[in-house]
Amino acid sequence: MIITEQKPFQEIIDSLKGYTKLFLVGCGECATTCKTGGEQELAKMKAELEAQGKIVLGVCIPSAPCIASQIKTELAKNMLALREAEAILVLACGLGVQSVKENDRLGLVVLPAGNTLFGAVMDAQGNFYEKCSLCGECVLDITGGICPITLCAKGLLNGPCGGMDKGKCEVDKDKDCAWVLIYKELEKRKKLDTLKEVQGPKDFKKTTKPHKLMLTK
């Protein structure tokens, strides 16, 4: 899940300077779950924009605006409103914003209403936790399903640093050392021998941006 937060409203208004007629796009998946781009958030944004003298011509919430086919369908349904619009304000992550821009046939100005923070898992209470750094070289099979790249403040691959103290992180004393957690997990699985295998440095070419993956039949 991609975690977002709404930009300060004044920052949004500043970005819309010179544009009066607007169209709003939300997100039915991640941003709805984060409460930054669902029905309630779009309704609130519409009311706040209109209170500032803006004209909101329409609203749509594709399930996933980052998927071209979904945003194309929604934009096509709202073409009459979009033809009158001057800008599209997107209440979704940066992927959604760029997908809207790439699939808008009218070439309108496309602006973000949120900041994209991180990828996360959600617990049963609805809290979000960053667990993966999208590094392109997964080591979870070696580390008992616990990611040291993300959970270790230093991203270490071969055990804890010398600053670990009583199972806590040197950088954040309230945080469990990722490698202590990994050790305990591997001990429980009777897989401690795995730790004897020295892991080489990561291939940082795999994190060179932007990525692309071409699907072939």
Q: What is the pLDDT of residues 84-119, one digit of tens each?
A: 999 999 999 999 999 999 999 999 999 999 999 999
Token pair in block for residue 44: 């609130």
Helix, strand, or coil (residue 156): coil
Give the tens place of pLDDT for each residue, 161-203: 999 999 999 999 999 999 999 999 999 999 999 999 999 888 8
Nearby residues of 175 by Cβ (< 8 Å), 6 or more positions away: 153, 168, 169
Is residue 217 predicted with pLDDT exceeding 70?
no
Q: Are 50 and 43 in contact (CB under 8 A)?
A: no
Q: To 5 degrees, how large is the angle CA 71–CA 75–CA 77? A: 120
- In the chain the beta strands, taken as DSSP E runs, fall at 2-6, 21-25, 55-60, 87-90, 109-112, 114-122, 128-130
Domain boundaries, the chain: 2-118, 136-196
Q: Output the pTM of the full model.
A: 0.85
Q: Are 109 and 16 in contact (CB under 8 A)?
A: no
Give the tens place of pLDDT for each residue, 1-38: 999 999 999 999 999 999 999 999 999 999 999 999 99
Q: Are 120 and 130 in contact (CB under 8 A)?
A: yes
Q: How far apart, in whole angstroms, are the C-alpha atoms of residue 164 and residue 172? A: 10
Q: How far is CA 55 from CA 89, 118, 127, in A?
A: 12, 32, 35
Q: How far apart, in whole angstroms, are the C-alpha atoms of residue 217 and residue 29? A: 28
Taking only Cα atoms into account, the Rg of the chain, rounded to an integer number of angstroms, comes to 22
Say which CATH architecture domain 2-118 belongs to.
3-Layer(aba) Sandwich (3.40)
